[in-house]
Amino acid sequence: MKTITDVILEPLYYSAIVSNDYFSWEVESAGSTDRTINCVAFLTQWHSLSVTEAKEFAKAKCIGLEQEYLDKKAEYLAGSSGSSGSQSILDSLELMEAVIAGLSLWNTTCPRYHPSRLSENVYEAYFQSRVGDGFRFFDFCTESAHILSSESDLVSGPQKINGLKLLNNAQHTDTFTKSLDPITEAGSK
């Protein structure tokens, strides 16, 4: 059974999927597979649309879904008996709005979807800076298991994973420690 939050947020869930497909189309269609799962591909096949028409349809669908969300949110707020609604529901809506804003920013700027912008890629510069500082970035999530496992020595102080500081007992410190082997010593690429 869907919760009221699920009902209100459902258009944003779909909008996130369609938005991703809209921005990832060029990269996915350039791949070596003929089994691309993307709404642009489906629209071109099912409705005989050109890629340009399919992308315009997807863009319009995203805008429509976001408006549907805003309408459902307004309806919820109007029907909440003069109060501004349940705080937990409002928090959930605000959180998802922030996630969608972040996803939109990522989709419109990330090097994966905009490889022509690699020369201005701030992510790459940041990555290289962190690698130069001796931080290790994992190729697979299983490579970090020893850091996050119960056997790890997390009680010794701040840890760094991909430039993010993990603090034990939520203690704040401005001192970063290099708890991982520098990339050169770890024998990584």
Tens-place pLDDT, residues 34-88: 667 899 999 998 999 999 999 999 999 999 999 999 999 999 988 876 555 688 8
Question: Residue written as tokens 């800076």?
Answer: 129
129-141-178 Cα angle (round to 5): 40
177 CB neighbour count, 10 Å cutoff:
12
Indicate the residue type of 59. K
Cβ atoms of residues 88 and 80 within 8 Å: no
Who wins on pLDDT, 114 or 33?
114
48-52-56 Cα angle (round to 5): 95
Residue 49 has which token pair?
């649309």
159 Cβ neighbours under 8 A, 6+ residues apart? 147, 165, 166, 177, 179, 180
Provide the pLDDT for residue 174.
31
Provide the pLDDT for residue 96.
92
Tens-place pLDDT, residues 137-180: 666 656 665 555 444 444 444 444 433 333 333 333 333 333 33
Whether 186 has a pLDDT exceeding 80, the answer reads no
Q: Within its chain, how far is the Cα of 75 from the centroid?
A: 28
Provide the pLDDT for residue 157.
41
